[in-house]
């Protein structure tokens, strides 16, 4: 999958008539020396559902606003389908936005809200188009109501319809589901995905919710401190993160300090606290020999000391269970290792294995192909979700 993303980028770079959206060296500095977006290079292929994922303040919204024309870049360029739109006025570019606050015009009814863009461009058949669009988002019966009379989910759909009806070359979604409750958000995620498949337009979705980005987009770019940390298909990002930030921001990771002891063609051997484990070469992202061995909590298997596990590989003895949380579909364990670190392990409740109790001695093991190796110069807690997030 990473191959695909790289292919797309390579093809785009060599092709002057790239039909997608290309950001080159895009930079936005604000007064006071704060750089929100720092020399960003990004290609968004035409027709893709692209997610820009990152914590608040990472520059994703500023990037989006520059594409929309609501913010002027300090330097760099924005090229859409071969046209340079870097400095084009917002009302002169074929880009529409679904605002986080929806920004529905309170003095206009739903019909007129949706028709707004068409009327500005003096389109023909406004009535037919609006009716068709309202049907697509299932709001035909609300067309003469004012935005304030609609529920949050309905308002969200109006905002979507109002942007989509203009058939923009790129549709920008700025945290569009942020104001909805969890259940509605789920439903809308599926809904927006369905609409995107139907209309086949380019969607760029800005969000801080990693689950939302992974569920909806076919390509996710993880952004941090004004730059793209890593870009690729959701599964690729999750399974093979290249930085501690990505490893922690997308799901959770155990990161254990280690030193490379030998390198073979396809496997690297790392010693961590006296135990040797191997990591596939394609999953090592270190400059020197010092690294973080990373493993996702659900990839770790728990066993009694000496127990033969069905997927043996790297085995680490000497763990003691310090906490057991039963969450239904899985059980989450905290295991204290001999070197003092507490590791997280998620075990699916298939019913075939017994639950361990707090205080029990255990052995950990995982298949070498699930591990990854990150550079030790990076902060092991970068991108970790804080309490309450």
As measured in angstroms, the least distance from the Cβ of 31 to another protein is 12
Interaction between residue 72 and another protein (CB under 8 A): no
For the bound state, the minimum distance from the C-beta of residue 158 to another protein, rounded and expressed in Å, comes to: 11
SS3 for 41-95 is EEEECCCCEEEEECCCCCCHHHHHHHHHCCCCCCEEEEEECCEECCCCCHHHCCE
Contact by Cβ (8 Å): 276, 328: no
**Cα–Cα distance measured from residue 73 to residue 126, given in angstroms and rounded to the nearest whole number:** 34
| CB closer to another protein out of 4 and 70 | 70
Residue 109 or 211 with smaller CB distance to another protein? 109
Please, which residues bridge with residue 195 across strands? none
For the CB of residue 126, give the shortest distance to another protein in the complex, in Å: 13
Contact between 352 and another protein by CB under 8 A: the answer reads no
243 binds another protein (CB under 8 A): no
- Of 148 and 357, CB closest to another protein: 148
Check binding of 148 to another protein (CB under 8 A): yes
Q: Is 34 helix (H, G, I), strand (E, B) or coil?
A: coil
For residue 359, what are its two tokens? 């205080």
Near another protein by CB under 8 A: residue from 66, 68, 126, 256: 68
Helices H, strands E: what count in the chain?
9, 21
Q: Which of 63, 86, 96, 202 binds another protein (CB under 8 A)?
A: 96
Distance CA 257, CA 251 (A): 19
Q: Which residues from 113-142 bind another protein, rule CB under 8 A?
A: 116-117, 120-121
Residue closest to 93 by CA, chosen among 108, 72, 75: 72
Burial (CB count <10 Å: 0-12, 13-18, 19+), residue 284: buried
Measuring CA to CA, how many Å separate 257 from each of 21, 50, 332, 381? Answer: 40, 34, 22, 12
Among 39, 88, 103, 380, binds another protein (CB under 8 A): 103
- By CB under 8 A, tell whether 90 contacts another protein: yes
Q: For residue 153, what are its two tokens?
A: 């989910």
Please say which residue, 92 or 354, places its beta carbon nearer to another protein.
92
Q: How many CA atoms lie within 13 A of 44 on its CB side?
A: 29
- Tell me which of 38, 77, 88, 99 binds another protein, using CB under 8 A: 99
Q: Does 264 bind another protein (CB under 8 A)?
A: no
| Contact status: 170 vs another protein (CB under 8 A) | no
Q: Which is nearer to another protein, 5 or 114 (CB)?
A: 114
Closer to another protein by Cβ: residue 90 or 280 = 90
- Is 346 a binding residue for another protein by CB under 8 A? The answer is no
- Considering the rule CB under 8 A, would residue 362 count as an interface residue with another protein? no
C-beta of residue 245 within 8 angstroms of C-beta of residue 378:
yes
Shortest separation between residue 32's beta carbon and another protein, angstroms: 14
Q: Is 57 in the site for another protein (CB under 8 A)?
A: no
Q: Using the rule CB under 8 A, is 107 a contact of another protein?
A: yes
Packing angle, helices 126-136 and 152-164, rounded to 10:
140
The SS3 of residue 337 is coil
Contact residues for another protein, defined by CB under 8 A:
65, 68-70, 89-92, 95-97, 99-101, 103-107, 116-117, 120-121, 146, 148-149, 162-163, 166
């Amino acid at each position: 999958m990473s191959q695909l993303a790289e292919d797309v980028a390579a093809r785009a770079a060599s092709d002057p008539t790239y039909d997608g959206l290309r950001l080159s060296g895009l930079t936005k500095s604000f007064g006071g020396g704060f750089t929100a977006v720092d020399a960003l290079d990004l290609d968004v292929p035409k027709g893709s559902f692209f997610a820009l994922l990152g914590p608040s303040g990472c520059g994703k919204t500023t990037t989006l606003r520059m594409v929309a024309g609501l913010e002027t870049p300090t330097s760099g360029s924005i090229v859409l389908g071969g046209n340079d739109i870097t400095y084009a006025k917002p009302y002169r570019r074929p880009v529409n936005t679904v605002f986080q606050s929806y920004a529905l015009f309170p003095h206009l009814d739903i019909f007129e809200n949706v028709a707004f863009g068409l009327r500005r461009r003096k389109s023909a058949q406004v009535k037919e188009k609006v009716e068709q669009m309202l049907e697509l988002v299932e709001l035909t019966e609300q067309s003469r109501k004012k935005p304030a009379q609609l529920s949050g989910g309905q308002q969200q759909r109006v905002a979507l319809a109002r942007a989509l009806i203009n058939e923009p070359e790129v549709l920008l979604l700025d945290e569009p589901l942020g104001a909805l409750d969890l259940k509605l958000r789920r439903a809308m995620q599926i809904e927006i995905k369905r609409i995107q498949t139907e209309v086949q337009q380019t969607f760029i979705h800005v969000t801080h919710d990693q689950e939302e980005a992974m569920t909806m987009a076919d390509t996710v770019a993880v952004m941090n401190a004004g730059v793209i940390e890593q870009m690729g298909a959701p599964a690729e990002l999750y399974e093979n993160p290249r930085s501690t930030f990505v490893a922690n921001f997308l799901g959770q990771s155990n990161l254990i300090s280690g030193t490379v002891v030998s390198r073979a063609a396809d496997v690297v051997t790392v010693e961590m606290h006296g135990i040797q484990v191997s990591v596939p070469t394609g999953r090592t992202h270190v400059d020197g020999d010092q690294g973080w061995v990373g493993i996702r909590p659900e990839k770790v298997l728990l066993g009694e000391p000496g127990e033969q596990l069905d997927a043996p590989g790297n085995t680490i003895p000497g763990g003691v269970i310090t906490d057991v949380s039963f969450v239904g579909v899985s059980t989450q364990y905290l295991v204290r290792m001999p070197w003092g670190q507490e590791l997280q392990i998620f075990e699916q409740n298939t019913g075939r294995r017994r639950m361990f109790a707090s205080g029990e001695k255990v052995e950990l093991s995982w298949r070498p192909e699930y591990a990854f190796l990150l550079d030790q110069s990076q902060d092991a807690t970068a991108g970790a979700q804080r309490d309450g997030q």
